[in-house]
Amino acid sequence: MRTFFVETYGCQMNQHDSELIEGQLRRQGLEPAPAVGEADLVVLNTCSVRDKPVQKIISRIGALGRLNPAATIGICGCVAEQEAERLLDRSPAVGFVIGPGQTARIREAVRALTQGERPVLTGFDAESEHGFTTIFRKSETRGMVTVIEGCNEFCTFCIVPYTRGRESSRRLTEILDEIRDLASSGVREVELLGQTINAYRCPESGAGLATLLEAAAGVEGLLRVRFITSHPRHFGQDLIDVIAGHPKVFRYLHLPIQSGADPVLARMHRRYTRAEYLELVGRIRRAAPDINLSTDIIVGFPGETEDDFAATIDVLERVRFGQVFAFGFSPRPRTPAARYRPRVAEEVVSDRLQRLFAVTDRISRELNEELVGRVVEVLIDGDSRRDPTHWQGRGEDNRVVNFPKTGREAVGDVVEVAVERAGAHSLAGTISGGAVRLPVIAP
Ligand code: SAM
Ligand code: SF4
Ligand code: F3S
């Protein structure tokens, strides 16, 4: 076995786990293959948050058998934890199954594989810890850093506590070492990761996210610090104060509400009310008026009435989120909501989703239009997806900005862009100020 290819599905935690997988495989002497069809080992790092992504993985296993019949397939991520041994029956090409709590043991699995075994590593234990130096980072400008693993919330619809285990916070000193290491290698923006990141508590000092964020923002050489995902239930005033007061903390906050109707929120076991959420948003906005908020919505949760849905739309109109991620409810194995009745009919769910997107697209376009004529500071990420003569980057509040290259700037630079046009999902403009190339801090 000489070469590998990793395909990643799902959230930032999986994106980051794939960096660990790649780092471990490279350490073992494997090389990345230029295309999936040419790899000896194909790793699928999977997501099971809804049924659709799981079905995608099942059909991908079949398709890989035709595309690259000689390859061994390794299944990692949340479907691996959920399905475990059953994945071995899907295809003889499946050589190992590794759940998110065991990702760091991939080298052990590859060794077992070469001895003719088909290891299945799932569950959660302290042994699966890894050093951050084995991570192979994909981006030169952005670095992801795990702050807290797992989730204790047990929202009734969600599979994550079952696939990612209970909450476990890393030590603050270890997190800061990793951030300093990133800054010294030229990374400009750090993204702190956790499913309920504001439940973070350092096991050594008891420090919370506000303290961590402030310390991270103080690391020399870093331009921006962002964090995802916050639960509305754990959002303290100390965190609001750091967001409002620290110029390096990103002007963007993802704060999933899931529904705007109290009866639905109660059945979801979210443990906040619509009024409490709106009050929190009010406090955040008063302290940091320039903050760009985004949210997640589940449409068609069992028992959701037309009035409940109207209450969700009403919250969207009141808060005016820059971005909304909305999905139809998908029953997940082992979760209480999978047994809740009545289910909302599929046609009703898709009709509600369409109505919701009409509202959210209008609002985000209106918010983007407010920036036309203004100058925004953009960190260049790479080529624009549609046009290689243009750059794509993100403003300080996470908005995507596309603009023509001038030949004088590079990835990782910060430029001032005069915004000329706005769509629902991005801004377009031209560079108005020179590129700022920040000095790399010597380690
Ligand atoms: N930890 C985050 C939070 O508290 O909101 C969310 C994590 S989850 C991986 C991402 C999003 O997937 C959720 O916010 C929710 O909107 C959606 N989701 C989770 N389970 C779902 C289900 N069974 N059906 C539809 N959407 C679901
Ligand atoms: Fe899932 Fe709820 Fe935990 Fe988010 S807070 S990961 S939605 S159980
Ligand atoms: Fe999916 Fe697992 Fe993330 S279910 S959204 S990959 S935590």
Mean pLDDT by 10 residues, the chain (443 residues): 96 96 96 97 98 95 95 98 96 97 95 96 75 82 94 98 96 96 93 97 97 96 95 94 94 97 98 98 96 97 98 98 98 98 98 98 97 94 94 95 95 92 96 65 41
* Whole-number pLDDT of residue 304: 98
Q: Measured in whole angstroms, how far is the alpha carbon of residue 305 from the centre of its chain?
A: 30
- Could you list the beta-strand ranges (E) of 134-175: 142-146, 148-149, 168-169
Residues in the ligand 2 pocket, defined by CB under 6 Å: 151, 153-155, 158, 160-161, 195-196, 231
Residues in the chain, overall count? 443
The half-sphere exposure of 365 on its side-chain side, counting CA atoms within 13 A, is 8
**Which one of the ligands is nearest to 325 CA?**
1
Helix ranges, 203-296 (H): 209-217, 237-245, 262-268, 274-287
* Whole-number pLDDT of residue 130: 61
User: Distance (Å, rounded) from C-alpha 271 to C-alpha 187?
Assistant: 37
Q: Determine the residue of 6, 17, 48 to mutate for testing ligand 3's pocket, defined as the one with the most ligand atoms within 8 A of the Cβ atom.
A: 48
The closest residue, in CA terms, to atom 1 on ligand 3 is 47
How far is the centre of ligand 2, averaged over its atoms, from the C-alpha of 319 (Å)? 22
How far is the centre of ligand 3, averaged over its atoms, from the C-alpha of 427 (Å)? 29
* Whole-number pLDDT of residue 24: 95
The closest residue, in CA terms, to atom 7 on ligand 3 is 160
How far is the centre of ligand 3, averaged over its atoms, from the C-alpha of 111 (Å)? 27
Q: Is 330 in the pocket of ligand 1 (CB under 6 A)?
A: yes
Q: Is 258 in the pocket of ligand 1 (CB under 6 A)?
A: yes
Q: Is 162 in the pocket of ligand 1 (CB under 6 A)?
A: no
What domains are there in the chain, each with its CATH number?
Answer: 3-121 (3.40.50.12160), 135-369 (3.80.30.20), 375-431 (2.40.50.140)
- Could you list the beta-strand ranges (E) of 24-159: 31-32, 41-46, 72-77, 94-98, 120-121, 142-146, 148-149
* Whole-number pLDDT of residue 324: 98
Q: Measured in whole angstroms, how far is the alpha carbon of residue 425 from the centre of its chain?
A: 18
How far is the centre of ligand 3, averaged over its atoms, from the C-alpha of 190 (Å)? 20
Shortest-distance atom of ligand 1 to CA 256: 5
Shortest-distance atom of ligand 1 to CA 325: 16
* Whole-number pLDDT of residue 288: 95
Shortest-distance atom of ligand 1 to CA 296: 16
Q: Is 14 in the pocket of ligand 3 (CB under 6 A)?
A: yes
User: Distance (Å, rounded) from C-alpha 326 to C-alpha 309?
Assistant: 12
Render pLDDT for 370-398 as a digit per residue (tens, 0 to 9): 999 999 999 999 999 999 999 999 999 99
Residue 249 per-residue DSSP state: B
pTM of the model: 0.95
Q: Is 49 in the pocket of ligand 3 (CB under 6 A)?
A: yes
**Which one of the ligands is nearest to 10 CA?**
3
Q: Determine the residue of 195, 227, 296, 335 to mutate for testing ligand 1's pocket, defined as the one with the most ligand atoms within 8 A of the Cβ atom.
A: 296
User: Distance (Å, rounded) from C-alpha 420 to C-alpha 50?
Assistant: 38
